[in-house]
Structure 1
Amino acid sequence: MKADLRGLSLQTLAVLAAGWLTACDFPHGAGGPGNPSGYATAAAEIGDIREVIPAVGPVRAATEVEIGAEVTGRILEIHADFNDPVSAGDLLAQIDPAPFESAVAQARATLAAREAAARSAAANLDDARAQAARLERLAASSAGRQADLETAQFRVRVLEADLQSAQANTNLSREALRRAEIDLERTEIRSPVDGFVLDRRVEQGQAVNALQSAPTVFVVASSLDRMLIEANVPEADINRIAPDMNVRATVDANPGRPFPGTIRAIRRAPVTQGRFVSYVVIIEADNRMGTLLPGMTASVEFVRAEARSVLRIPIEALYFEPPGFTPDLPADAIERFERSTGQVLPNDPHLRRATLRGLDMGILASNGLRRVFVPGDDGSPEAREIRVGGEDQTHIEVVEGLEEGEEVITGHGG
């Protein structure tokens, strides 16, 4: 893969590259300049450039609702089966309502008794208030005793507290009845959405237990026109995924028919299996043709670069240099380098050549160019500057500088 060097200064490029090139500058294999059989070559050809990041993941419906039992009991009736169309509110299954009907009847009876107790407390309070009022009038005319008035007033306060307690008990009983009625309603398992039954997980007569968690009894999908793929991307590749990246996926049921997808979310929560860490990328795919089914495993390709029918060469050609190659740089480029670094080029021929090669690499990169070598008329390598485009793991696109069929040197022959 080529390095992205355009953001670096010429000085930095020269210094960094000189060390690397010095380490790599040694005699290579058999052959050499003037011996065409000493080099491996490849022809510039028309082909495709595809750099992809692979991943796999399960397929599920985009709008999938799990419906659980909210009360504990025995499934008395089942009214929907696999693939049945349903509307919001349709009855899917019935849990035996008898225990819940009994609880409702008991709660109603308790409420009635406490309402009666509250009415009795209110009547007693009204009587006590009337008696206290009579005693107040007698006490005002000095015809009654003060002690009798105080006793009556005390009784009023006691009965007021009794009435408040009876009213509170009535409210508690009313809420208990409401809760019992809600539980009775929940014995009817109904669909919350329009769609069709994707999965049924209970049988008639089966007991469901909702004391610890709500068990899923039905799965309803509103549509399979849109599907989601939960692609597991290895941690080494997750930072190379971009939200606007093109995505293609295939399934084993239709291996030759890739379908496009759109990235909807890149989840940050890691998925760890042993020493393997991955991250889930949610992909939405159009499934109006109906080729995708929930539960399938999709092979996904995140496309980083793609170009079809372009001129390309093997990427190894970018990294070949004949032994002893020294670029011919303009004098002003060398002067700028020496002025910016405050140093002159090394006197040692080996270090001088490595520095010039690093500086040359920076100049080419800053102009969007790369250098390859082609066999000359006498078979010796000749330098050629080319402008490149996209690349993948094996090839790089040539925008200009080569013609189809021209040979480029990719390495030293055996």
Structure 2
Amino acid sequence: MKKAIIVALLLLIAAAGGYFELVGKSPAVTYRTARVGRGDVVATVSATGNLSAVTTVQVGTQVSGTISRLFVDYNSPVRKGEVIAQIDPALFTADVQQARGNLLNAEAALQKAKATTADNLRTMERNRQLLQEGIVAQSDFDAANTRYLESLADIRAAEASIVQTRGALSRAETNLRNATIRSPVDGVVISRTVDVGQTVAASFQTPTLFTIAQDLTRMQIETSVDEADISRVKIGQPVTFTVDAYPDTPFRARVAQVRNAPVITQNVVTYVVVVTVDNPELKLKPGMTANVAIEVGRRQQVLRMPMAALRFRPSGGQPSGGHRGAAAPGKEKGKREAGQQVYLLSPENRPLPVKVVTGLSNDSQVEIVKGQLKEGDQVVVQELGGKEKDKDRGGSGPPMRMRF
């Protein structure tokens, strides 16, 4: 019986040892690598904005009245000076006729004043002669002279009245002309806000009747660029953008203006960058949202590697031992070489650090300016296995073990 118990205990101890050896053994650590190669590195600044015509004119009216006729509609091409709407001209025509009548009346009053003045002048000259002969008294001559001077004043008043009535006539004729709405530019009607029979009032603010885009073959995008990126944006830089209507079609453009006025929204400072684009096929329409990428730097056929290689760090800390670009023995402790650190795999499947100096970068690639890396090297970008394999995936802490 005792022998059987001893054998059972030995088997239990052997099984427990094998289990703990199996559980405690670390799985093999593997790494994902990427190849160092040559290619273009393009740095961009991303922004969004809306398309609009370079010149958009809002056509209003300077007179109030009822819309009697419309000659254009949405998308109608128009020429400068073309009639696009008509306000009922009846009242304005009556005002013109009344102003002309007032002018004729003022001209007649002037002629009457001139005739009276001529008669008063003759009377005054006659009394002057009679006064010298002693036939009339001095008072008679003075009265005739006063009437003559009054008639001269009547002439000036009549002339002033003519100027006033001519101004009123000119105003009435201008209002009559303004009742006919004409296009101020060559372009395309992109909006219409009135209908026939609608009354428009221009007493305080000129109402907008039409919006005309001068030339839809030349458009622009007003984008908002963050203050952290605005220093890299310059006039003339190439731009690539897409719109939701053509998500797979990139459009080319150029930076035309970088405005200095800041736009502050909830303590976020941005600057308006105006991008001009050719639209010969009229695919782009006003108001479309554009996802813009402004090219702020380009390096062609340079040595490059993925940005993920710069972010990678081994889970067990930096391994010791020699590596490419390692500091020479005897260097003063605490001093570090310029540049950044990436990792290559050793023949023993261990990451070895390598110093590199980087240049232009974007979200996916970075230029290698100097260092021990060469074309074809495989740099580590991710740790896939091991005791701390969850570290790169956002996890932490040792693997969970079964409790007894």
CA–CA separation in structure 1 for the residues paired with 2:44 and 2:330: 40
User: Is residue 2:174 matched to residue 1:204?
Assistant: no
Letter of the 1:134 counterpart: R
CA contact (8 A) 1:74 1:208 kept: yes
Greater helix proportion: 1
Go from structure 1 to structure 2 and tell me whether the alpha carbon gap of 1:217 and 1:330 turns closer, same or farther (over 3 Å shift): farther
CA contact (8 A) 1:246 1:262 kept: yes
Give the Å deviation of 1:174: 0.7
CA contact (8 A) 1:374 1:384 kept: no
Go from structure 1 to structure 2 and tell me whether the alpha carbon gap of 1:380 and 1:231 turns closer, same or farther (over 3 Å shift): closer
Q: Bigger CA drift: 114-123 or 245-254?
A: 114-123
CA contact (8 A) 1:72 1:210 kept: yes
CA–CA separation in structure 2 for the residues paired with 1:303 and 1:112: 71
Which residue in the other structure is 1:111 paired with?
103
TM-score by length of structure 1 reads: 0.73
Give the Å deviation of 1:129: 2.2
Counterpart of 1:70 in 2: which secondary structure?
A: coil
User: Is residue 2:370 matched to residue 1:390?
Assistant: no
Which residue in the other structure is 2:157 paired with?
165
Counterparts of 1:237-256 in structure 2, within 5 Å, are: 237-256=229-248
- Using CA pairs below 8 Å that are at least 6 residues apart, which structure has the higher relative contact order? 1
Larger Rg: 2
Which residue in the other structure is 1:135 paired with?
127
Give the length in aligned residue pairs. Answer: 348
CA–CA separation in structure 2 for the residues paired with 1:277 and 1:157: 74
Q: Please give the per-residue CA displacement for 1:96-144, whole angstroms capped at 9, x wherever unaligned.
A: 0111111111111122222222222222222222222233334445554
Q: Please give the per-residue CA displacement for 1:291-312, whole angstroms capped at 9, x wherever unaligned.
A: 1011211111112223466431
CA–CA separation in structure 2 for the residues paired with 1:249 and 1:131: 91
TM-score by length of structure 2 reads: 0.74
Q: Please give the per-residue CA displacement for 1:340-397, whole angstroms capped at 9, x wherever unaligned.
A: xxxxxxxxxxxx533x32xx43xx7xxxxx77564566757364555x4421244311
Which residue in the other structure is 2:333 paired with?
353
Q: Aligned residues: percent identity?
A: 36
The two structures, once aligned, show a CA RMSD in angstroms of 3.3
CA–CA separation in structure 2 for the residues paired with 1:385 and 1:130: 113
1:231 pairs, out of 220, 223, 232, with 223
Letter of the 1:101 counterpart: T
Counterpart of 1:134 in 2: which secondary structure?
A: helix
Q: Bigger CA drift: 70-79 or 188-197?
A: 188-197
Go from structure 1 to structure 2 and tell me whether the alpha carbon gap of 1:273 and 1:382 turns closer, same or farther (over 3 Å shift): closer
Letter of the 1:396 counterpart: V
For structure 1, list consecutive stretches of 5 or more residues without a partner in the other structure. 1-35, 332-351, 365-369
Counterparts of 1:16-165 in structure 2, within 5 Å, are: 42-46=34-38, 48-165=40-157
Give the Å deviation of 1:318: 5.7
Letter of the 1:286 counterpart: D
Counterpart of 1:52 in 2: which secondary structure?
A: strand
Letter of the 2:59 counterpart: I
Counterpart of 1:224 in 2: which secondary structure?
A: coil
User: Is residue 2:396 matched to residue 1:404?
Assistant: no
Q: Bigger CA drift: 402-411 or 48-57?
A: 402-411
Q: Bigger CA drift: 262-271 or 84-93?
A: 262-271
Which residue in the other structure is 2:18 paired with?
none
Which residue in the other structure is 1:10 paired with?
none
